[in-house]
Structure 1
Amino acid sequence: MELSHLAVPSVYGLIFFLGYPSQWMLMHLEPSPLTKNELIAANVILVLILVTYTQSVFVDPGTIPKDWAETQEQGVSDEKKEVAKKSRKWCRKCDAAKPPRAHHCKACKRCIPKMDHHCPWTANCVSHTTFPHFLRFLLTTTLGLTLLQSLLFTRLHHLWINRDMPAYLGPSPFQLFHLFATLFVNTVTLFAVGILCVRNMWCLAVNTTTIEGWEIERHRTLLRRARHFGGYLETPDGEAVRIRKQEFPYDVGIFSNIAQGMGSANPLQWINPFAPTPSVASGLSFEMNGFEDEGTVWPPPDPDRAYKRHARAVNGGAFVYEKEDLSTTDTMAAFKARQAEDVVRRRKPFVERLEESVAKQDEGDEYEYSDDASEQAEEQEKYADGEGEEGWRNSEGERLQDFGVDEDVEFYDEQEDEIPLAELIARRRAASNAASVPA
């Protein structure tokens, strides 16, 4: 059994440990047992924690319909269809177009609508459908742990002010051990869950996901890099790409952001643990703030995430295969190797490429290059050992794969207008077959 399979039972065990034995302990410690109201409040919060956690674990994070793009384009003009097509992404693993804000999860093995991250403690994706349950779990857990912490500190304060009393008048050794063990576990858990709760509430208020926060920081890094090259950065093939500042398109106002994230415009439903789960259909398109032109892609263009293209044809000449002496097995292996090379080309960290570029520049270069050693050292620290740009980390030390996404798919995603030829042929066949069927 993998350790990941123990995560959910461990969380349930932690909830029961902090929830029920602590009530028995607090009933037997001075200055007084728990009151009736304290017992009711503690048990109501405990039930809410169990309900919201169970929903976070077992509610499906959503499966994107194969025909979602065609459904979204119904009743839309041809011009807007072309704009939408250019702004869509294509998932190579699912062989389908991805809606905005969707990502391919390596654990769920499919594209998840508005994926925030894959949470190891719920063994489930935090997505458009599960985020309201997950946030309510964080809120109720933080509230419950805070209540328990206050009750524990009341007993500790009483022990401290009566520390000179004979030991036989105080709690037993087992009760003391139970008290301090509960205090330690509760403090660590409250700290971790509290930080996570505040972070997710901030993301809800500004309508970003954890992955999009990483993308925003990556974009700022590219803007800083581009200043050294006159506003341009190069792709793996040497093509210069203009890097300009783009505003995050999905922040549409705090109330609208919360209503969209929680799946309802009714504030009472935001805190209702039995509120209905948002539908997958509502997570296939999102309102935009209009700060950027229609059809502008998010995340912004990243030259390091571009595909490598062949500089020349794989055939040495017309009708002559370059390696015609290969066996059938070797020919297939060579084809797969070229195919993999087309998809992913590991790039050196930017600092190394910058140093190589600076070394080649003559005096009087029109661009300004940073000689700030601290800035370069800070940039260099954002890479994983042995990795290129795929290993870039944000200020919190996170890389894209840390959120549960399939990094090779997400880092090297492609536009829908670059759909593989086989898929285009399959679509054409399907369309012709549908047209030939008599009405």
Structure 2
Amino acid sequence: MEFSRLAVPAVYLLIAFLGYPSQILFLYLEPAPLTRNELILSNVLLVLIFITYTRSVYVDPGTIPRARGEETEALKEQGISSEDGKDGKDGKKGGAGQRTKWCRKCDAVKPPRAHHCKECKRCIPKMDHHCPWTANCVSHTTFPHFLRFLFYTTLGLSLLGYFLYIRLATLWSQRDLPSYLGPSMFHVGHLFLTTLVNSITLFALGILFVRNVWCLAVNTTTIEGWEIERHRTLVRRARHFGGWLDAPDGTRVRIKRQEFPYDVGIWRNVVQGMGSANPLTWLNPLAATPPLSTGLTFPTNDFEDASSSWPPPDPDRSFVRQPTSTDPETTGFIYDSTTLSPQETLAAFRARQHADVVRRRKPFVQRVSDASRAAGGGGGVGGSLYARGAVQSLSDDEEEEVGDGDESEDEEVKGRGKEEVDGEEAWRNSEGERLLDFGVDEEVEFYDEPDDDEDVPLSELLDRRRGERGY
């Protein structure tokens, strides 16, 4: 049986185990059973935890409208043109990061901040990550319920931890008394088991709650945090090569530092993430789910040019297109008519194989090492220092930041399987995470860089042109 089918029932059992048997346990432990007010508070928190968790599991994370008309109407509500993502009647609503992308699996437009989930099998608006413990995506529509669940769970576990601490302190103060005057072995075992499970759960969910509050305040998702770190890595690499990096097909891509566009101030960030400007609604477990229409476009801070997009250009995410030719003699390779010798045929095959580097690129450190050796740097100390310098910034103010990220990238490669180091798709951040760990379908996401209209199907382009002309 899949883990996702067991995760949700397991969480319900965990909540029930920590919530109800402990109330019975306290009847047999000193200094006294829970008071009436303590019982009311404990059970109210339990109900809130159950409600918010259930909504986190069963609320639809959202679906990107496939029909052109539906998408246009939803975008018009935000005051943004769906044709190019530029400013509409609302002025500053459209900006950096609003360029349209296309999802090849959904065969539909992918709005900003949307990602294709490999578990849900569709694009999710403002996808944060796919949570295995809720078997659902944390997205624009489910994030408020998920954050409320973390909040009430942290409160409930903290309250239970306080009750347990009082009983443990009393038990320790009476450790010199005869055992028959204290609780039974069953009650002592239950007490220590509950304390252990509660402490581990509180530690994990407490950290997760703090992290999500921080993401809410700065208006970033878990996936966008990964993208921000990736962008900083590319900027550090490009600094060593004069601001340019090579794409898989050999073209050079200009890399410049770009600010995250969706941080529009703490208050506006919180209002946008929670779907309401009323602080009481933020705590309401029965609050309405944010409408899907508000998750298709987002206001930006206008720090960057309106033509820029998020995430910034990544050379390793550039899809390699095969060059086309009108010469009939070079349009294809026909083995019957070739005049190459067997040795020349093998050499030509290896050359074509070497050129096919879309899916099988070496990690950055190895590529730089190879380049340094080809340039005469050798494979010794000089070549090693050259490769190290390529992944580190030459400025002293970022030395510590580089050491936490790319400095260990070549070391991580040694411990991975071959399938994980063949290409930059397997790039990991400083915590060892890749997009796949957040539930993102990397096969779809990695080569989704917007490139004008070249990746958009012809039928879609015709629909857009008809819409522009009014027929």
Q: TM-score range by the shorter chain?
A: 0.7 to 0.9
Aligned pairs for 1:396-435 (under 5 A) are 396-415=431-450, 417-420=452-455, 423-425=457-459, 428=462
Residue identity opposite 2:58 in structure 1: F
Aligned pairs for 1:106-145 (under 5 A) are 106-145=118-157
Q: 1:13 to 1:76 in 2, by over 3 A?
A: closer
Q: Tell whether 2:271 aligns with 1:241.
A: no
Residue identity opposite 1:180 in structure 2: F
Q: What corresponds to 1:385 in structure 2?
A: 417
Q: Whole-Å Cα distance in 2 between the matches of residues 133 and 261 of structure 1?
A: 11
Aligned pairs for 1:356-371 (under 5 A) are 356-361=370-375, 369=386, 371=388
Q: Whole-Å Cα distance in 2 between the matches of residues 102 and 17 of structure 1?
A: 37
DSSP 3-state at the match of 1:97: strand
Q: What corresponds to 2:211 in structure 1?
A: 199
Q: What corresponds to 1:328 in structure 2?
A: none
Gaps of 5+ in 2: 88-93, 337-351, 378-384, 393-402
Q: Whole-Å Cα distance in 2 between the matches of residues 53 and 86 of structure 1?
A: 32
Q: 1:86 to 1:167 in 2, by over 3 A?
A: closer
Contact 2:85 2:99 in 1 (8 A): no
TM-score, structure 1 as length reference: 0.87
User: How many angstroms does 1:381 deviate by?
Assistant: 3.8
Residue identity opposite 2:333 in structure 1: E
Residue identity opposite 1:354 in structure 2: V
Q: Whole-Å Cα distance in 2 between the matches of residues 49 and 415 of structure 1?
A: 41
Q: What corresponds to 1:219 in structure 2?
A: 231
User: How many angstroms does 1:17 deviate by?
Assistant: 0.3
- Give RMSD over aligned pairs: 3.1
Residue identity opposite 2:242 in structure 1: G
TM-score, structure 2 as length reference: 0.82
Q: Whole-Å Cα distance in 1 between the matches of residues 186 and 159 of structure 2?
A: 23
Residue identity opposite 2:314 in structure 1: D
Q: Tell whether 2:283 aligns with 1:261.
A: no
Q: Whole-Å Cα distance in 1 between the matches of residues 62 and 80 of structure 2?
A: 25
Q: What corresponds to 2:192 in structure 1?
A: 180
Which of 300, 304, 311 is equivalent to 1:288? 300
Contact 2:98 2:297 in 1 (8 A): no
Greater mean deviation of Cα atoms: 125-134 or 69-78: 69-78
DSSP 3-state at the match of 1:414: coil
Overall identity of the aligned pairs, in %:
61
DSSP 3-state at the match of 2:302: coil
Q: Tell whether 2:328 aligns with 1:322.
A: no
Which of 359, 383, 391 is equivalent to 1:345? 359
Q: What corresponds to 1:45 in structure 2?
A: 45
User: How many angstroms does 1:418 deviate by?
Assistant: 3.8
Gaps of 5+ in 1: 326-337
Greater mean deviation of Cα atoms: 1-10 or 123-132: 1-10
Which of 369, 376, 399 is equivalent to 1:355? 369
Q: Tell whether 2:282 aligns with 1:270.
A: yes
Contact 1:307 1:343 in 2 (8 A): no
Residue identity opposite 1:19 in structure 2: G
User: How many angstroms does 1:3 deviate by?
Assistant: 2.3
